[in-house]
Structure 1
Amino acid sequence: MRTVIISGGSSGIGWATAERFASGGDQVFNLDVRAPTEPSNPAVSWIENDVADWSAVRAAVTRVAETTGTVDVVIANAGISIRHGVLELTEADVRRVVDVNLLGVLGLWQAAADVMVRQRAGVLLATASVNGARGYPLYADYNATKAGIVALCRTFALELSPWIRVACVSPGAVLTPMQLAEYTPAMLDEVNARIPAGRHASPEEIAGAFHYLASAEASFLTGQELVIDGAETAGATTAVFGTGERIIGTERR
C-alpha cells in the first residue's frame, strides 16, 4: 500500500484520481480548501489546506509522513481559472491564479521532495494543460501557469533523478465542475466540434493516466509531459473561435 497525496482532490480530476488510487489499495490524503463534494472512498482522508500557503502545505506533508512513515506519490492537481480578457485582468485575480496553479505545485513538490530524497524513492506528478503550449483567449494567466508546470517538471526531474521520478499530465478539454461552471452547453458543443475525438475527456480518463505514471510500468519515464486531448493539438487547426474573428476583452467580432 502506497501513501499518496493529492492536492485539489475534492472534485473533478482530483476527486477521480483520489478514487482511482484508493480503489487500488493505496492510502490517499486529499489537500483541499473544501471537503469532497461527492461520497468518497474511506481510504481517502481530507486535510483542509490551501496550497498557496507553503507553511501549511509543508506541515500537512510532514504530518502525513509521520503518520504513515512514507510519502510515495504526490500529485499537485489544485487549480483555478478565471475567464477574463487581458484588458480586464486584475492584480488580485492574477496573483491568486499564480499562487494556486504554479506556486502551489512548486511548494507541494518541494515539501514532498524533502521527504522523498531521504527515502531515495518517490514520484512527483502534476496537472498541467495543453493551454500551456498554445495561445488560448481569455485565460492568459491560467495558460502561463500551466506552461510553468511543464518547466518545473523538467527541472525537478533533472535535479532529483535517479531517485525521484517527475511527470505531468496535460489534459485537453475535460468535463469537470470547473468547465461546466464556465461554459454553456453551446460553448461545450463548440469545443467538442474542434476535438477529433468529438468529445470532452472524463475526469476518470485523466485519473487513469496519473495511475499509470505512478506505476512500475512507467519506471523509466521522468521529466515528461503526457498530453491527453483527443488529438485536439495533434495538427494544424482553426483558431479557437473560428477563422476571422477577433477578440477584444470578452467581445467577439
Structure 2
Amino acid sequence: MSNQMTRVLDGETVLVTGAGGGLGRGIALAMAEVGARVVIAARRGSTGEETAQLIRAEGGEALAIETDVTSLEGMRQAVTAAVSHFGGLDILVHNATHGASGHPKNLEDFADDDWDNQLAVDLVGAHNCAVAAFDALHATGCGRLILLCSAFGLHGAALNPGYAASKGAIRGLTKALAREWGPFGITVNAVSPAALTPAAEAFFAMNPVLRDQYIANFPLGYMGREREDVGRAITALCNPNLSYVTGQIIQVDGGLYTAV
C-alpha cells in the first residue's frame, strides 16, 4: 500500500459498483491504496470477493457485496451494508456497465429488450445508486458521487446507440444532481475514461489491425491503465482539496477527446 503521506482518503468509505473485475477493480484498488475502506458491489459475489482479497493482500480493508445495480432495493441494501460495516459512506462510484456496451450493433438489430437491458445497468443503475446513497452521503456533510461517462455520449458511437444514449444521459444527470445536491455539501462529477480493459483487449484480439490504428489517436501514445491512470484520477477527484469541483465531466483519456 502507499505510504502515509499519500493516504488522502484515510478513514473514508467508498462503494464501487461493477468492481468484480476490469476498470471497477482498478478503481477499487486505487481507492484502497490511498486509505479508503472499499465496498465492492459486484453482480457475482465470487468476483467481488476476488477484488476484496487483492485489497486485503495489500493491507487494505474491503467488503464484497453481491449487488444488482438495476434493483433500487439491491442498491439500498448495499449502502446499508456499507454503513453498517464501516460506519458510514463517503463516496460512491458507479462504474457498472452492461456487457453489451462493448459489442457494436446497429439499432435495427437490437432485440426487443436489448435497449432496456443496456440502459437498466448504465443509466437506471446510476439513478438507483444516487437514490440509495443520498442519505448516507448527506450525513457526511461532504459526500461525493462519481459516475462513469464516455466521450461517446458527446460525439456519438457508431453501431452502439444504447451506450451513447446512456452515457449522454449520465452527463445530464451529473450536472442536474450537482445543482440539486450542492446545498447538501455533496459533489457530483463524472469521469470519461479510455482504458485498456479486458473488454478492449478482447476486441483488439479479434481485430488486431485496429489496435495500432486506434492507439495512434492518443496524444500520450497509449490507452490508459485501469488502476494507475483511471483509478488514481478518480481518487484524485475525491481528494478533499478538490471539494469545490462539482458538475464536471473529466476526460481521463490521454488526450484522445479534446473537444468541448
Give the TM-score range, shorter chain. Answer: 0.7 to 0.9
- What one-letter code is carried by the residue in structure 2 that aligns with 1:229? D
8 Å Cα contact 1:19/1:44 also seen in 2: no
Provide the C-alpha distance between the structure 1 equivalents of 2:62 and 2:130, rounded to a whole number of angstroms. 20
Relative distance call for 1:200 and 1:131 in structure 2 (3 A) is: same
Q: Could you tell me how far apart the structure 1 residues matched to 2:54 and 2:13 are? A: 17
Does residue 208 of the first structure (1) align with residue 226 of the second (2)? no
Instruction: Name whichever structure is richer in helix by fraction.
Output: 2
What is aligned with 1:95?
A: 116
Give structure 1 regions of 4+ aligned residues with deviation exceeding 6 angstroms: none
**1:56 shift after superposition:** 0.8
The answer to whether 1:164 aligns with 2:178 is: no
Cα deviations by residue, 1:189-212 (Å, 9 ceiling, x for unpaired): 221122222221111201011101
Aligned mates of 1:180, 1:91 — CA distance in 2: 29
Mark the runs of 5 or more structure 2 residues left unpaired by the alignment.
1-10
The answer on whether the counterparts of 1:86 and 1:138 sit within 8 Å (CA) in structure 2 is yes
Q: Does 1:62 align with 2:80?
A: yes
| Aligned match of 2:5 | none
Match of 1:194 among 217, 228, 242: 217
In structure 1, the partner of 2:39 is 29
Q: Where does residue 7 of structure 2 map in the other structure?
A: none
1:144 is the counterpart of 2:200: no
Please state whether the residue corresponding to 1:102 is helix, strand or coil.
helix
Amino acid corresponding to residue 227 of structure 1 in structure 2 = Q
Amino acid paired to 1:71:
L
Q: Which runs of 5+ in 1 are unaligned?
A: 237-253
Offset, 1:126: 1.3
Q: Partners in 1 of 2:126 and 2:249 — Cα distance? A: 15
**AA of the residue aligned to 1:120:** G
In structure 1, distance between residues paired with 2:139 and 2:256? 41
1:119 aligns with 2:140: yes
Q: Is the CA contact 2:118–2:162 (under 8 Å) kept in the aligned structure 1?
A: yes
2: CA distance, partners of 1:109 / 1:188 = 36
Are 1:40 and 2:54 an aligned pair?
A: yes
Q: Partner of 1:18 in structure 2?
A: 28
Displacement of 1:116 in angstroms is 1.9
Aligned to 1:249: none
Tell me by how many angstroms 1:234 deviates.
Answer: 2.1
Query: What SS class does the counterpart of residue 51 from structure 1 fall into?
Result: coil
Q: TM-score, normalised by structure 1?
A: 0.87
d(CA) in 2 for partners of 1:132, 1:170? 9
SS at match of 1:161: helix
Contact 1:83/1:182 (<8 A) preserved = no
Residue by residue over 1:98-137, the C-alpha shift from the partner in whole angstroms, topping out at 9 and shown as x without a partner, is: 0001110110111111222233331100111111111221
* Distance in 1 between residues matched to 2:203 and 2:112, nearest whole Å: 21
Opposite residue 189 of structure 2, the aligned amino acid is A
Q: Counterparts of 2:216 and 2:63 in 1: how far apart (Å)?
A: 39
Q: Is the 8 A contact 1:57 1:111 kept in 2?
A: yes
Q: Deviations over 1:175-233 (max 9, x none)?
A: 00121233332222221122222221111201011101111121110011101222222
Contact 1:3 1:28 in 2 (8 A): yes
Tell me which residue corresponds to 1:135. Answer: 156
Match of 1:76 among 94, 101, 116: 94
Q: CA RMSD in A?
A: 1.7
